[in-house]
Amino acid sequence: MSIKVIIIDGHADFRSLLMHHVTTHWPDAIVSAYDPLSAGHLPDEFSGAGNDVVLLGDVQGDRDPLLTLRQFAKTPAFPPIVYFGNDNKLQALAAGASAYFRRDNIRHNAFIVRVSDILRSHQRVSSTDSLFVGDMATGIHPLIRGYRFIKRLAVSEHSALYLAQKDSEDHQVVLKVLRQVPDFSDGLGAFDRFLQEYEMIAELDHPNIVDIYDLGVSDDHAHIAMEYVPGGDLKERIKKGVSEAEAIDYTRQIAGALTQLHSLGILHRDLKPGNIMVRDNGSLALIDFGLAKRMRLEQEITGNGEIFGTPYYMSPEQGHADDVDERSDVYSLGIIFYEMLTGKKPFVGADAMSIIFKHTKSPVPVLPYHLSSHQALINLLLAKRPEDRLQSAQEVLEWL
């Protein structure tokens, strides 16, 4: 049975945004919209009958939207109300809202989880209907056919990672799912970057780059099915301690993967231990090319002067939003090599900008005496100016 939703707000674009959030997850939902600015305020006798949930925005013209909320909430048998406002969460919840979201910062996954919980509490959806409900959601999602979901691995504003199994096969895969949700700022850009990511890594064939099995694209979402590496990531491995020999071997493997990437004109731009998986046989697999960029592409997707990446592993030029090339990835590899050898990050600070400043101004760190044989390589990897570094991942391989 289709769910029924009414959206009440005076801003047309906002009504469209909420409608898109709803229908991309529940394609069969029956959604109606009401504009109190053009049609006038709903009368006191409005009961919300026939709707499963009411999405109430705070653009209500000359009337205090909290008064409208209180009017609805005190009406007997009125449907649950999700309220969208700005910095008045406590007042909205006290006035009777079942949930609250800032209208300028609606995260799709969080929205779907909350609305699903509300609908479920009113017995309008089953426990397996929502892709984003719980860490152990199972079943086949109506928008992504052919996979049995095992558990959620991670979730972010634009995408989610799930452990799944393809119906026709017996091995597990990781599904990275992104929804096309316009949010007035980055919805289209994020979706385009996601597709760009697949197009790039689909060309790759290297033992130290994660295997890609499948791509699915529709008008409102896309998904990538990729290799599942159950052994954890290099970040966790470093916490347990990496031997000197392992650090050299891992650096060699990462440099080999970067050589393949760079040969195709691809920069990773977010190289860090959390994006490097460790297989059971000790081999590494680079993952998460969400920030990767073809060097020959124009800047329109990411935007000029916009900083992407993780400050701890970011080259000085990337931290200052200057042009980057493969030598930026070489710098990030140097940071990882140092961390594997010492168990510590070379540059830390109270916030992102202080870390970026240290990448630019602080001297290259000195290794402990027993590791001093690697100091020359560290110097060449972490040189402040790109022209003073090893010029490619291939040169790193040759040095090693």
Q: What residues are labeled active site?
A: 270
State the Cα–Cα distance between residues 178 and 156, nearest whole angstrom.
Answer: 10
SS3 388: helix
State the Cα–Cα distance between residues 299 and 278, nearest whole angstrom.
Answer: 33
Instruction: With CA atoms as reference, report the closest residue to 380 among 371, 389, 372.
Output: 389
Cα angle value 387/389/390 (rounded, 5°) = 115
SS3 233: strand
State the Cα–Cα distance between residues 233 and 258, nearest whole angstrom.
Answer: 17
CB distance 52 to 124 below 8 Å: yes
State the Cα–Cα distance between residues 364 and 389, nearest whole angstrom.
Answer: 12
What is the b/e burial string over 111-125, where b = at least 16 CB atoms within 10 angstroms of the residue's CB?
Answer: bbbbbbbbbeeeebb
| 321, two tokens | 């939003």
The partner residues of 212 in beta bridges, in order of sequence, read 226
6: how many CB neighbours lie within 10 A of its CB?
20
Spatial strand order in the sheet of 99-102? 30-34, 4-8, 53-57, 81-85, 99-102
CB distance 290 to 270 below 8 Å: yes
DSSP annotation of 132: T
387: how many CB neighbours lie within 10 A of its CB?
7
